Amino acid sequence: MHRASGVLMPMSSLPSPYGIGTMGKSAYQFVDFLKAAGQKYWQLLPLVPTSAGDSPYSSFSTFAGNPYFIDLDLLVKDKLLKKKDLEGIDWGDDPERVDYGKLFDQRSRVLRLAYARGREAFDEALEAFVTENPWVETYALYMALKQRYDMLPWTQWPDEDIRLHKAAAVARCREELKDEIDFHIFVQYLFFDQWASLRTYAHQKGVSFIGDIPIYVALDSADVWSEPQFFQLDEDNVPKEVAGVPPDAFTEDGQLWGNPLYDWDAMEKDGFGWWIRRIDGASKLYDVIRIDHFRGFESYWAVPYGETTAKNGVWKPGPGMKLVGVLTAWFNDLDFIAEDLGYVTPGVRKLLSDSGLPGMKVMQFSFDAHGDSDYLPHNCAANSVCYIGTHDNDTVMGWLKSTRAADRRFAARYMHITEDEGWCWGMIRAGMASASNLFVVQMQDLLELPASARINIPGKPEGNWRWRMLPGKADKELAKKLRLYTETFRRL
């Protein structure tokens, strides 16, 4: 990875008239903004469908695309929708916040109109799409079954045979739910068709995509339902233990994520084929893959199923280089980033070193008035990615209000913060000047936004993932300013 920089901007945060950012006009305009600003990378959050809590890190499928990101104006252009189909729909009344409840109620109804108009015209394209993406039939069946059972998770489906994914029940349900299955396949075709066009445009402009792979998948997902043999489940497909992280200085009870844990022995016996398929799917979306919670490959926190906090877990060994080596060898044309944040042990450091992958440096964690930090810009190794903060951190303006006064004074002295430049651009300058090959800044910090624009508060189950940028904010003047910083520190 050469010296460069990029912007972290969730697809959901783009402006649009339909309640959430999409792969339409605003996405193309944002690519143009990145090009004008001299940025090489657009970093995204996972593009998968969201489930309870609206988190892109908890999805019904690790392969599928989020139907909310399908641009409706492009469907009008393709004659799959009419302008009048979109009139009078309430997508939410706050242009700076996503209203997921209204999206859930409205988006599917509109997409079903497109399906009714276009299903026959796309027969050949859909057949080719299914051949190239075999996961989509399982996903579509899963979503059709969730519709049948009032969106209940598969663990609560009343039909035991289909809950346990028995072959005869799967075949029967494929026949019974054929039209609903075809609808979900059609929606995925639309998503990936629009994404391919956007990605091609970005590449023509010299912009590449960084995307996240959450280390775990949700229990309520087609992935666990259809391939339970790769997860730590009992004979009734109930988890034995679940994922989380132990208590630390930020969370007294730790974080109980609740994801099912992998059966690493079963995966290794299969040659890690499940992970190879997963990365192959992600490669159709992203040019660089950030592996979230990379330290879980070295060892992971296992919490007994049924616990209400993460306190009573234990550390267990992960697959280490047996898996990481397979992935980097198999996908030698892909770049990876290891999210090595959290409790970093000597074992995690060794795995990162052995893998050769760049780790992450978060400046907000670095300013300790009484000690040194690996995350200070002058300590960053070239083979690393420097962030002021990630989607799990506050904005710079929010961080300023919550950090200790002594640390704030140290940070101001270290970065030589001036009133004219301000904290946001002072921290951007320091990150740009770091030795890290890649520097990524959140869009909110380019816009100098307060804590209300924060994307996510870890451990808070509701109210996250909602911030949206107002139209016109990523303008020529902002691009010119960012380009000057980028050029100064030789990241063009």
Name the residues annotated as catalytic. Answer: 292, 339, 392
Q: How far lies 359's CA from each of 234, 327, 331, 350, in Å?
A: 35, 16, 18, 12
- Residue entry with tokens 């929606």: 187
Residue 64 phi/psi, 5-degree rounding, is -75, 160
Query: Could you tell me which of 163, 314, 346, 291 has the C-alpha nearest to residue 238?
Result: 163
Rounded Cα gap, residues 491 and 135, in angstroms: 39
The torsion defined by the Cα of 206, 332, 50 and 173, in degrees rounded to 10, comes to 130
First CA to last CA across the chain, in angstroms? 13
Instruction: Write out the two tokens for 46.
Output: 């996972």
Q: Give residues with Cβ within 8 angstroms of 258, minimum separation 6.
A: 219, 242, 243, 244
Rounded Cα gap, residues 201 and 184, in angstroms: 26
